Amino acid sequence: MRDASRAWRADGRTIGLVPTMGALHAGHMSLVDLGRRENDVVVVSIFVNPLQFGPGEDFALYPRDLERDARMLKDAEVDAIYMPSTDVMYPAGAGTRVRVGDVAEPLEGAFRPGHFEGVATVVTKLFAAVEPDRAYFGQKDAQQVAVIRRLTRDLDLGVDIRVGPIVREPHGLALSSRNVYLNTAERQAATALSSALRQAAGAYAAGERDPEALRRVLIGRLELEPLVAVDYAQVVDPATFQKPGYLGVVAARVGKTRLIDNHDLTKPFPG
């Protein structure tokens, strides 16, 4: 991949990278579109990164459909798909890991030990392989965005981190490759996450400024739904994920499927 990138760069062409784990949907494609608009060349990586899955998680089950992904990316006129094998990414003996520190510790970091170390390690390697000018991430994974911004800054990676808005279904459910796991009742129950964020944004708009009160709005809505088991619901500062702020973040299990969502409560909820 690096040789192709260097040839593009030698031609004076700018490169945008969209890292994904495949099973592509309209959320991924919105990042591809953004990348197209801002760069001469767009590269999409597809790699289901074993390092970012915990022992009891869904690595083996994670949806994979490379033929469909390739068709979607061809239709979107992507210039290259980078699809390294696990052996290329992590040859025997490759033990180096990238640990970002504080922003990676609470919330997702606490519920998924090692997850952000896996993400930071693979993103560092993808940046090294593709040498992009810009890289595109979804606000859907808000803490991941904060982790990658910190990583890029701390290690002077020289990549401009660009963030695309969350793409949702009409009733609010954030698109996710994991939504295919949901049965009909679970899919209905899963709308509690976006609905909780909508209600909390409504409370903010009505004048509520106490993060703890906004958090109670989130919890109150999630707990109405018996199929939803809450991992966390918090209202935090979007840069640190520690100080209080107005980013509402929720994670919950719906049946066996773990879902996350978030919304800047100072803004009206879309739709």
Q: Residues in the site for ligand AMP, rule: CB under 6 A?
A: 20-21, 27-28, 30-31, 137-138, 140-141, 164, 166-167, 174-177
Report the alpha-carbon distance of residue 242 to residue 236 in Å, rounded: 6
Confirm whether 263 is a catalytic residue.
no
Report the alpha-carbon distance of residue 208 to residue 59 in Å, rounded: 40
Residue nearest to ligand AMP (CB): 138
- CB 206 to ligand AMP: min, Å: 27
- CB 168 to ligand AMP: min, Å: 7
DSSP 61: T
Report the alpha-carbon distance of residue 20 to residue 30 in Å, rounded: 12
> Nearest to residue 145, comparing CAs of 101, 103, 115, 107?
103
Nearer to ligand AMP by C-beta: 137 or 215? 137
- CB 261 to ligand AMP: min, Å: 9
Nearer to ligand AMP by C-beta: 203 or 236? 236
Residue type, 171: H
Nearer to ligand AMP by C-beta: 175 or 222? 175
Residue 200 exposure: Cα atoms within 13 Å on the Cβ side: 35
- CB 158 to ligand AMP: min, Å: 19
- CB 53 to ligand AMP: min, Å: 11
- Residue 15, exposed/middle/buried by CB under 10 A (0-12, 13-18, 19+)? buried
Report the alpha-carbon distance of residue 107 to residue 231 in Å, rounded: 9
Could you tell me if 270 and 168 are in contact, meaning their C-beta atoms sit under 8 angstroms apart?
yes
Report the alpha-carbon distance of residue 121 to residue 90 in Å, rounded: 10
Nearer to ligand AMP by C-beta: 137 or 246? 137
Residue tagged active-site, from 28, 115, 171, 263? 28
Residue 230: C-alpha distances to residues 33, 62, 210, 218 (Å): 33, 22, 21, 10
Nearer to ligand AMP by C-beta: 190 or 203? 190
- Residue 6, exposed/middle/buried by CB under 10 A (0-12, 13-18, 19+)? exposed
Catalytic (active-site) positions: 28
